[in-house]
Amino acid sequence: MNAATSYETLIIGGGLAGLTCGLRLAEKGVKVAILEKGETDRYLCNSRICGGAFHVSYRDVHESPEVLMNAMKGKTQGFSRQSFLDVMANNAGSTAQWLRSKGLRFIKVGDAPHRQTTLAPPIAQKGRDYWHGRGGDVMLRTLHAELKKAGATVLLGTRALSLRMAGNQCIGIEAEQQGSKVLLDARNVVISDGGFQANPELLREFVTREPAKIRQRNAQTAMGDGLTMARAVGAKLVGMKNFYGHPLIQDALTNDDLWPFPVMDDLCVAGVMIDSSGKRFVDEGLGGVYLANHIAGMADPLSTIVIYDQPIWEGPGKAFITPANPLIITNGGTVHKADTICALAQKLALPAGVLEQTIGQYNTAIDAGTTTQLAPARSTRDHKAWPIRTAPFYAARLVAGITYTMGGIAVDGDCRVLDGNDNPITGLYAAGCATGGLEGGDAVGYVGGLSKSSTTGFQAAEHIAANRAR
């Protein structure tokens, strides 16, 4: 094993959180190294292949702290740590402005509030190379160039293996580099290697009993290494059961042209979701992220189907920037179509009488304005319930697509890692999607991966730099 090399701060992971943290530290004169297990300059991570929208719970990051706070509280419904909410509400906009000052370009994409600060150039709307030379790819290359100018070190092909501790203080990392073990000393370590969505064992422990029956809608590089290392030294984990993702057509399991887009959210929240019995099993009005989590948690995550009719197909089906209509068909997805609900049930091998009753009761409740009295209830606050009565009728089998896990390492408002008693572990920080305590909960509240990553990475750097002389 090589002799230890010393830095003031070591950062695990070269995604947006890690690069933001590293660049902010470097420009403040901190000797910093970023460990990235990817071996080439175009290493894959979620930040590189992202959609590019910086938002806070679907509000533009530049809106007032009050607006952002209310948006997050509305989505997370009491789950989030207040200190985490404060950091996001007060700093998401200024962090995006700082990134702009470092060369990132943002544009407006449409009128939706959450697309007013979107990375440029925007991603392509189809093809496996939709991210090449666009959005997140340009973002990471820009930040790497700035890191080089600032004198930071980026160690490609370097995978952190364990945290080195002296009592309750983190003093560095043991890592593997080009097949050899290396010791790295540091006053501070920042874990920012993303979630654990690509780790089947952790998914089985926390998210789904059937990890092989959900679609990896991500770079498939986030294995939860940092989380596992932190857990081993007594770090507290929080909110581990939830993830950000979308329902996809089930053919996405074998057809790469059907992920990460098109998503099935707009069809699911307008139509009816049924299980293998032909009955509804979830409140469709709670939105696509909630539905994806519910699907993944079922005994058989591949047992769900969305039912919709022609007005839904021609309306909400065409609403998204990469619309389900026509992409799920033109990209090779299997959509069943029939002139009656009975005939549709036969194509799906479902009991026709049960499906007809399900749809009939649903339509009656819409007409009477009593959808909240259905079992399960159908809420309409965020998503309109559309009746299903105009032929042709459609059905598509679904799979949950996971983008990143919402749960992770518990941190305080300065991104210091907390132990089981909510006390900071000296010298240990976490940022980005390696952290937990902001998103998730029973409402599966979504805040936004890019804003979470950049803001917490910046916040960790600020605290580390402010405490250099102490």
Q: What is the mean pLDDT of the chain?
A: 97
What was the pLDDT predicted at 178?
Answer: 87
Percent of the chain whose predicted confidence (pLDDT) is above 70? 99
Nearest to 402 by CA among 141, 223, 198: 198
* Distance from C-alpha of 43 to C-alpha of 28, rounded to nearest angstrom: 27
Q: What is the DSSP string of 227-293?
A: HHHHHHTTB-EE-TT-EEEEEEEGGGGT-GGGSSSS--HHHHHHSEEE-TTSSB-S-GGG-HHHHHH
What was the pLDDT predicted at 128?
Answer: 84
pLDDT band (50, 70, 90) for residue 321: confident
Locate tokens 């660049």: which residue?
23
In CATH, the architecture of 5-241+406-466 is: 3-Layer(bba) Sandwich (3.50)
What was the pLDDT predicted at 4?
Answer: 74
Say whether pLDDT at 229 is over 80: yes
Predicted TM-score of the model (pTM): 0.96
Handedness of CA 227, 417, 99, 77 (dihedral sign): positive
Per-residue pLDDT, averaged over 19-24, amounts to: 98
Nearest to 53 by CA among 405, 448, 402: 448
What was the pLDDT predicted at 292?
Answer: 98
What was the pLDDT predicted at 110?
Answer: 87
Per-residue pLDDT, averaged over 63-75, amounts to: 98
- Tens-digit pLDDT profile for residues 165-187: 999 999 999 999 989 999 999 99
What does the block give as tokens for 161? 């293996």
pLDDT band (50, 70, 90) for residue 384: very high
What was the pLDDT predicted at 157?
Answer: 97
What was the pLDDT predicted at 3?
Answer: 59
- Tens-digit pLDDT profile for residues 423-439: 999 999 999 999 999 99
Nearest to 158 by CA among 5, 6, 13: 13
pLDDT band (50, 70, 90) for residue 1: low
Nearest to 448 by CA among 42, 43, 14, 116: 116
* Distance from C-alpha of 270 to C-alpha of 385, rounded to nearest angstrom: 5
- Tens-digit pLDDT profile for residues 199-218: 999 999 999 999 999 999 99
Say whether pLDDT at 89 is over 70: yes
- 7-16, 127-136, 183-192, 358-367: which has the minimum mean pLDDT? 127-136
* Gyration radius from the chain CA atoms: 23
Contact yes or no for 404/227 (Cβ under 8 A) = no
CATH 3.50.50.60 spans which residues of the chain? 5-241+406-466
Say whether pLDDT at 294 is over 90: yes
Say whether pLDDT at 443 is over 90: yes
Percent of the chain whose predicted confidence (pLDDT) is above 90? 96
What was the pLDDT predicted at 468?
Answer: 86
Say whether pLDDT at 469 is over 80: no
Per-residue pLDDT, averaged over 397-422, amounts to: 98
pLDDT band (50, 70, 90) for residue 2: low
CATH 3.90.700.10 spans which residues of the chain? 243-402
Contact yes or no for 107/118 (Cβ under 8 A) = yes
* Distance from C-alpha of 291 to C-alpha of 387, rounded to nearest angstrom: 19
Handedness of CA 201, 78, 63, 457 (dihedral sign): negative
Per-residue pLDDT, averaged over 330-334, amounts to: 97
- Tens-digit pLDDT profile for residues 243-285: 999 999 999 999 999 999 999 999 999 999 999 999 999 999 9
Provide the CATH number for the domain formed by 243-402 in this structure.
3.90.700.10
